[in-house]
Amino acid sequence: RARAKAGDYDEPFAASLTPIEEGILIEEARSRGLTVSRAGRFFHLMGGHSKGLAAELLIRLYRTRWRPLPVVALGEGANDLSLLLLADHPVVIPRHWGGVDPAYRLGAWHVAPAPGPFGWKLEVLRLLGHELRAIA
């Protein structure tokens, strides 16, 4: 917990919680200066950091040193939301059952046509402008 609070690490853990218990967990973490996000089966206990904060720093560095570049972000869980909100081209990768994480249900997100690494690959190729051929 101390390392997570310092902002250097997150602490992943699994728990079977009801929505009420999850809300209590989030509030207890917040009262201690921590945040909790959920990514698939796992929760992540974190200090004051996120994927979005890390990406924001990198984007700023790249844009200061080189010409502005478009930012592409792909994510599937609630822990990716801060990252996707920064991107010029955010893409939500569906879960293995085809639905998206509840964090993405509101909003006009572009959703990949397939889950997992294959959906990620299709979207990267689409964004790079490649035409896909059917693989027999």
pLDDT, tens only, 54-101: 889 888 888 888 877 788 999 988 878 889 998 989 999 998 887 888
Average pLDDT, integer, range 19-36: 84
H runs (alpha helix) in the chain: 2-6, 19-31, 51-65, 81-86, 116-128
Label residue 95 exposed, middle or buried (CB < 10 Å: 0-12, 13-18, 19+): middle
pLDDT at position 53 over 50: yes
pLDDT of 1 > 60? The answer is: no
Q: pTM above the 0.85 mark?
A: no
Percent of the chain exceeding pLDDT 70 equals 86
What percent of the chain clears pLDDT 90, i.e. is strictly above it?
17
pLDDT at residue 8 is higher than 80: no
DSSP code at position 79: G
Question: In this structure, what are the phi and psi dihedrals at residue 102, rounded to the nearest 5 degrees?
Answer: -55, -25
Kindly state the tokens that stand for 85.
């909100």
131 or 114, higher pLDDT: 114
Residue 102 has pLDDT above 70, yes or no: yes
Q: What confidence score (pLDDT) does residue 135 get?
A: 37
pLDDT for residue 118: 93
Mean pLDDT for the stretch of residues 121-126: 91
Q: Mean pLDDT across the chain, nearest whole number?
A: 81
